[in-house]
Amino acid sequence: MIDLAADLKLIREAALLAGELALAERELGLNIHAKPGGSPVTNADLAVDAMLKATLLSARPDYGWLSEETADTPDRLSRRRLFVVDPIDGTAAYMKGKPWWCIPVAVVEDGRPVAAVIHAPALNETFEAVSGGGATLNGKPISASDTDDLDDASVLADARLMEGPLWPEPWPPMRFEKRNAIAYRMALVAAGAFDAAIALTPKWDWDVCAGALIATEAGARVSDHHGRPWLFNQPDPRQTSLICAAPALHPLIARRTASIPLAPVSPGPRP
């Protein structure tokens, strides 16, 4: 049996140290490069990735590893458990000195996240959860909102998409906002600060894995936009799309988004 409490303590402490390192690296000055596909990466992303990998795998050498900033290998597919990590989710916000970035770390067992932390250093917020144990923010229990009506719901999504001509049935008026980091959006839904987060494009496992557990343990529902559940540690480490929503809102959203075909997840450069 996996010791969930021990794994949660391990990834929490590692994420907190990673936050300190990221803040220190930015204070010293960043070297910024463009990865294939055009997304930015900094020396801090790489330093945090190296620190997390060394810290976590030295403590759990039998676990696999999947991270945005580490070259993927088939080895992880043979591991029953693995760490899924994004060293800095929301790099653009991090580079600009905005607070909407975080460090998501999850432990996956048999394709499902069982322990997760999302640490937002600039906001002094640490979300965490273990399977069957509920979710917390800075040690206090959190829960998704009880909103049951899309009208005036607060949603983290692209307003241009949601209000555009794509939809056979127009959406009711909703309040849209943006946050750079996908994991942080899911954490905000878990805490009830927003009612839903919606994205119709594929999302990498490292962006959504920790958030999936934290949101679910807080009572939210998480799926692709056709309402299908996610499975992690697959050969292609991506989910086709995202609905993360309060439990009463999720079916109302999925009913509308199901009219949009699932986009093929074609091979391409990592972000």
In the predicted structure, residue 6 carries a pLDDT above the cut 90: yes
Residue 261: the pLDDT is: 87
pTM for this structure?
0.95
Please report, as a single letter, which amino acid is at residue 203: K
pLDDT at 268: 52
pLDDT value at position 45?
Answer: 96
Per-residue model confidence (pLDDT) at position 267: 52
Query: pLDDT tens for residues 127-153?
Result: 999 999 999 999 999 999 999 999 999
* pLDDT band, very low/low/confident/very high, at 58 (cuts 50, 70, 90): very high
- Mean pLDDT along residues 47-71: 97
Indicate if the pLDDT at residue 31 is higher than 70.
Answer: yes
Q: Which residue has the higher pLDDT, 169 or 85?
A: 85
Mean pLDDT of the region 21-30: 95
Residue 225 predicted with pLDDT over 60? yes
Mean pLDDT value across residues 90-109 = 96
For residue 18, how many other CB atoms are within 10 A of its CB? 26
Q: What is the pLDDT of residue 138?
A: 98
Band (pLDDT 50/70/90 cuts) for residue 2 is confident
- Whether residue 270 is predicted with pLDDT greater than 70 in this model: the reply is no
Kindly tell me the burial class for residue 9, based on how many C-beta atoms sit within 10 Å of its own C-beta (0-12, 13-18, 19 or more): middle
CA pair distance 21, 160, nearest whole angstrom: 36
Q: Band of the pLDDT at 195, cuts 50, 70, 90?
A: very high
266: confidence class by pLDDT, cuts 50, 70, 90: low
Q: Is the confidence at residue 157, as pLDDT, over 70?
A: yes
pLDDT of residue 35: 86
**pLDDT given at position 1:** 55
Domains along the sequence of the chain with CATH: 4-140 (3.30.540.10), 154-257 (3.40.190.80)
pLDDT at residue 271 is higher than 70: no
Which token pair is 51? 């620190």
Percentage of the chain modeled with pLDDT above 70: 96
Average pLDDT of the chain to the nearest whole number = 94
Separation in Å, CA 99 to CA 15, 23, 181, 184, 249:
16, 11, 10, 11, 28
The pLDDT of residue 264 is 62
- Tell me the C-alpha distance between 67 and 127, whole Å: 19
